[in-house]
């Protein structure tokens, strides 16, 4: 989200001397993406951010396809994802392709014994259950139910949960996650027709600055391998920074739905985009107000994309049986639409309280064995 932001202290001119109180220099770091042409921030460290003590043996965490070529609709029960105390071990990849991973997680403990950096992907973490604080080297963000946490690749972070009951829906994107182009003007400002504005974006506020030496473990995911790197100084030693590259939070309740006299297509729900996929938010809204409108979504063909819908809360008018945490997959190549009776039941309805997150991919998704273990049987034939 291109909004200039800053925390702490930094020099008035970039790439110039910036002294600490003891007379020694701060160490400047350009934290940028896409070479030197993408979003970037300038960070000022108390210590050199390059002091590696050791590197462990990498662990392969490449997802494996149990179903390589899928054309069947599926429904997975995401709330059956097993709880795990470790934040990274709790993350279970269900669906993936060369553009993204889609995972669920049910961590019971905070991530505070090591630090984590995803060098492969931007992360979008949707908080279904739980609250706490996302702690990063560029500042902290408090979070709760319904928050999207957008964490650019390369951000070093920890995460603190207030309780042990946490449910997360996670998208790892191998390209930058941005706001849709049609919502922004030439300068990057969100336009009047956008379903959210800059006021809805929560940026890091509290900057932790740790002046500590020792051994600090950072687990770094790179090329689908987890590396354990030990640094000589605390990674949260940033005294100040400014720029455009940082994590932020956006709550799904701040998405303002776009409605019309007749049923609107799914792109009106779009919230984020990346290379070859989009993320959409379905929120409580008034139904179509044409006197003869049919509020239920019309049957439509998934010719060019796989559609994944993560059900969060509320009553889902188009499905006969849906529970919190269910994840539907409708692959490219076959049409889909409302279950029997849902089309007719929707006529005359004035509003919906449904809450859901949708991921549409433009390349086929592969299904892992973990996903199949969460599979709801008979979903394939539920339209008969």
Residues 123 and 224 in one domain: yes
In this structure, the answer to whether residues 151 and 203 fall within a common structural domain is: yes
pTM of the model: 0.96
pLDDT at 24 exceeding the cut of 90: yes
% of residues, the chain, pLDDT over 70: 99
Confidence band (pLDDT; 50, 70, 90) for 238?
A: very high
In a domain, 135, yes or no: yes
Could you tell me if 355 and 277 lie in one domain? yes
Whether 2 has a pLDDT exceeding 80, the answer reads no
User: Measuring CA to CA, which residue among 257, 250, 140, 160 is closest to residue 206?
Assistant: 140
Residue 305: CATH number of its domain: 2.60.120.10
Does residue 133 share a domain with residue 191?
yes
What pLDDT band is residue 317 in, cutting at 50, 70 and 90?
A: low
Q: Is the pLDDT of residue 1 over 80?
A: no
Which structural domain, as residue segments, surrounds residue 268? 254-372
Q: Is residue 148 in a domain?
A: yes
The reply to whether 196 and 229 lie within a common domain is: yes
**Residues 286, 220 within the same domain:** no
| 284 and 210 co-located in one domain | no
How far is residue 304's CA from residue 243's CA, in Å, rounded to a whole number?
37
Token pair in block for residue 367: 């299904």
Domain membership flag for residue 311: yes
> What pLDDT does 180 receive?
94
186 Cβ neighbours under 8 A, 6+ residues apart: none
**Same domain, residue pair 301 and 350:** yes
Query: 230 with 263, same domain?
Result: no
Contacts of 191 (CB under 8 A, 6+ apart): 183, 184, 185
**Do 212 and 271 fall within a single domain?**
no
Q: pLDDT confidence of 300, banded at 50, 70, 90?
A: confident
> Is the model more confident about 260 or about 107?
107
176 and 264 share one domain: no
pLDDT at 321 over 90: no
Among 226, 252, 278, where does a domain finish?
A: 252
Residue 320 pLDDT > 70:
no
Choosing from 224, 252, 280, the residue where a domain stops is 252
At 345 the pLDDT is 86
Tell me which of 252, 286, 301 is where a domain ends. Answer: 252
Supply φ then ψ for residue 345, to 5 degrees: -65, -25
Residue 383 inside a domain? The answer is: no
| Assigned domain for 307 exists | yes
pLDDT band at 179 (very low <50, low <70, confident <90, very high): very high
Considering its fold, how many domains does the chain have in total? 2
- Mean pLDDT on 105-116: 97
Is residue 33 situated within a structural domain? no
Do both 266 and 328 map to the same domain?
A: yes
Q: Model confidence at 318, in pLDDT bands (50, 70, 90)?
A: low
pLDDT in tens, 45-72: 999 999 999 999 999 999 999 999 999 9
């Amino acid at each position: 989200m291109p909004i200039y932001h800053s925390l702490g202290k930094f020099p008035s001119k970039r790439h110039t001397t910036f002294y600490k109180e003891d007379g020694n220099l701060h160490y400047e770091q350009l934290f940028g993406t896409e070479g030197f042409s993408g979003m970037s921030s300038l960070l000022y460290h108390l210590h050199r951010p390059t002091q590696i003590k050791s590197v462990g043996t990498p662990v392969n965490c490449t997802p494996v396809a149990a179903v390589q070529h899928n054309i069947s609709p599926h429904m997975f029960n995401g709330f059956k994802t097993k709880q795990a105390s470790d934040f990274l071990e709790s993350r279970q990849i269900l669906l993936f392709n060369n553009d993204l991973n889609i995972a669920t997680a049910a961590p019971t403990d905070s991530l505070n014994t090591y630090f984590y950096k995803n060098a492969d992907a931007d992360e979008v973490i949707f908080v279904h259950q739980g609250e706490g604080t996302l702690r990063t080297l560029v500042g902290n963000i408090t979070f709760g139910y319904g928050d999207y946490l957008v964490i650019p690749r390369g951000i070093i972070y920890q995460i603190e949960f207030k309780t042990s009951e946490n449910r997360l829906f996670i998208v790892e994107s191998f390209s930058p996650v941005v706001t849709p182009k049609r919502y922004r003007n030439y300068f990057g400002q969100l336009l009047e027709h956008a379903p959210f504005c800059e006021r809805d974006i929560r940026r890091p506020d509290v900057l932790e600055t740790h002046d500590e030496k020792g051994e600090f473990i950072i687990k770094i995911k790179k090329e689908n391998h987890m590396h354990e790197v030990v640094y000589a100084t605390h990674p949260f030693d940033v005294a100040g920074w400014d720029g455009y590259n940082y994590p932020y939070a956006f709550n799904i309740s701040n998405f303002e739905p776009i409605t019309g006299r007749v049923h609107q297509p799914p792109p009106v729900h779009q919230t984020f985009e990346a290379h070859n996929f989009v993320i959409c938010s379905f929120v409580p809204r008034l139904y179509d107000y044409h006197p003869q409108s049919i509020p239920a979504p019309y049957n439509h063909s998934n010719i060019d994309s796989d559609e994944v819908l993560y059900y969060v809360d509320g009553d889902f008018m188009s499905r006969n049986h849906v529970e919190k945490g269910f994840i539907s997959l409708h692959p490219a190549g076959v049409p889909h639409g409302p279950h029997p009776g849902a089309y007719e039941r929707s006529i005359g309805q004035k509003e919906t309280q449904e809450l859901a997150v949708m991921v549409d991919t433009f390349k086929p998704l592969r299904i892992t064995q973990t996903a199949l273990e969460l599979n709801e049987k008979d979903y394939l034939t539920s339209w008969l």
